[in-house]
């Protein structure tokens, strides 16, 4: 995604935190990341670095879980293109750019 936004200034990614039930710690981490609205914190979490616990009372993560169910999002990462198409799984930058189009 970093590669893509460098290459294509007209594309922005909006990351929605959606902890899977199979990852027990992900829920609290998601909440903390949403509270801080920090990409760095999310990257740290990907790298297995600790995420300091924050509790700002956000309901966004619970809302995302409900929304994911409604939209048919069952796995992560799930890319949703502007036309509404769902693309499950990791894709390399070139494939993703091709799919996003112009």
Partner 1 sequence: MDCVQQDFMLEKNVLRRFLFNFLLLFFILSVGNAYGFEARGQECSKCHVLSNSEAKDLLKNIIPEVVILDIRLSSAKGFWEVYLESGGKKGLLYVDFPKKHFFSGPLISIADRKNLTQERLMELNKVDVSQIPLDDALLMGDQKARIRVIVFTDPD
The yes or no reply on residue 54 touching partner 1 (CB under 8 A) is no
Shortest separation between residue 27's beta carbon and partner 1, angstroms: 9
Nearest CA-CA partner of 87 in 97, 98, 99: 99
**Residue among 19, 21, 1 at smallest CA distance from 11:** 1
Neighbours of 21 (CB within 10 A): 8
Residues that bind partner 1 (CB under 8 A): 1-2, 5, 8-20, 23, 25-26, 29-30, 33-34, 37-39, 42, 45-46, 51, 58, 60, 63-64, 67-69, 71-74, 76-86, 100
């Amino acid at each position: 995604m970093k590669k893509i936004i460098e290459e294509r200034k007209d594309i922005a990614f909006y990351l929605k935190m959606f902890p899977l039930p199979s990852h027990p710690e992900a829920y609290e981490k998601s909440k903390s990341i949403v509270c801080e609205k920090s990409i760095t914190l999310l990257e740290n979490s990907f790298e297995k670095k600790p995420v300091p616990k924050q509790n700002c009372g956000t309901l966004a993560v619970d809302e995302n879980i409900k929304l994911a169910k409604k939209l048919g999002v069952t796995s992560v990462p799930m890319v949703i293109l502007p036309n509404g198409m769902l693309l499950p799984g990791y894709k390399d930058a070139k494939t993703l750019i091709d799919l996003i189009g112009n």
